Amino acid sequence: GDSVTQMEGPVTLSEEACLTINCTYTATGYPSLFWYVQYPGEGLQLLLKATKADDKGSNKGFEATYRKETTSFHLEKGSVQVSDSAVYFCFPPFGSSNTGKLIFGQGTTLQVKP
């Protein structure tokens, strides 16, 4: 069945370090792919998206490339900041528009230290 696997956290980095959070999925068909971010005490916000194979989504210095051949959508940032400390969720919206069941990855907590 459809599933998504995210890199386990927590991930602790020093400021200006490079970040990669892995996300792989299995799905019937080729959905659009999203990364969401959740800052402490808030709901989830859309961080970036990619709608088809080889698309690269980017926002706030974060990037992710839709790799159809490896069914992956890894999140990357070249230089993290303390303000990037949050929980990150990979989200391929499985199911057709008729099912409505939308399943998230388990989330990866990132802590950036000054």
At its nearest, how many Å lie between other proteins and the CB of residue 16?
A: 25
Interface residues toward other proteins, by CB under 8 A: 31-32, 34, 36, 38, 41-46, 49, 51, 87, 89, 91, 93, 97, 100-104, 106-107, 109
Name the residue nearer to other proteins (CB basis): 34 or 62: 34
Name the residue nearer to other proteins (CB basis): 10 or 78: 10
Cβ distance 38 to 86 under 8 Å?
A: yes
For 23, how many CA atoms within 13 A lie in the half-sphere containing its CB? 27
Name the residue nearer to other proteins (CB basis): 77 or 105: 105
> Which of 33, 18, 6 is closest to 84 using CA atoms?
18
> Which of 71, 63, 56 is closest to 26 using CA atoms?
71
